[in-house]
């Protein structure tokens, strides 16, 4: 049985969200979370609240992958794909805005491009529906 274009794009969005989860967890953990925990200058509450937010993001990205996968497996139920597409587009824009505010090129943050690409795949899949 051949996959429809919509289902294929939603599976690709799920896969890319999972790749984003892996990059966040295994690469970001080394270059972001570990230095955050090693920092002794931040106030204790700020440091641990940032670490908590890091883990909220980890859970959210994995949930996004699951949302796209659910809609790919159930193409008559696209509510989660709509939500995940809007959320990935919003967090990509937020990533770019935070980078610019910090004087950093937005593409230096992998979150900008990974979430944008995931949103594009999800959006394309929804448009084919």
Count of CB atoms situated within 10 Å of the CB of 52: 10
Q: What is the pLDDT of residues 14-27, one digit of tens each?
A: 999 999 999 999 99
Q: How far apart are CA 86 and CA 114, in angstroms?
A: 14
Q: What is the pLDDT of residues 30-65, one digit of tens each?
A: 999 999 999 999 999 999 999 999 999 999 999 999
Q: What is the pLDDT of residue 46?
A: 97
Q: Are 84 and 68 in contact (CB under 8 A)?
A: yes
Q: What is the pLDDT of residues 66-86, one digit of tens each?
A: 999 999 999 999 999 999 999
CB-side neighbour CA atoms (13 Å) of 119 = 16
Per-residue three-class SS string for 66-120: HHHHHHHHCCCCCHHHHHHHHHHHHHHHHHHHHHHHCCCCHHHCHHHHHHHHHHH
Q: What is the pLDDT of residue 1?
A: 59
Q: What is the pLDDT of residue 129?
A: 79
Provide the 8-state DSSP code for 42.
S
Token pair for 23: 């990059």
Q: What is the pLDDT of residue 5?
A: 95
Q: What is the pLDDT of residue 2?
A: 66
Q: What is the pLDDT of residue 3?
A: 82
């Amino acid at each position: 049985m051949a996959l429809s274009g919509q289902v294929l794009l939603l599976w690709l969005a799920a896969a890319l969200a999972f790749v984003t989860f892996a990059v966040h967890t295994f690469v970001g953990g080394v270059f972001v979370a570990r230095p955050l925990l090693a920092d002794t200058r931040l106030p204790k509450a700020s440091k641990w609240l940032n670490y908590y937010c890091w883990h909220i993001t980890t859970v959210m990205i994995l949930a996004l992958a699951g949302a796209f996968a659910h809609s790919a497996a159930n193409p008559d139920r696209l509510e989660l794909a709509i939500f995940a597409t809007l959320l990935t587009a919003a967090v990509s824009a937020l990533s770019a805005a935070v980078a610019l505010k910090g004087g950093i090129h937005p593409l230096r943050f992998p979150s900008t491009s990974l979430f944008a690409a995931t949103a594009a795949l999800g959006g394309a899949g929804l448009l084919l529906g």
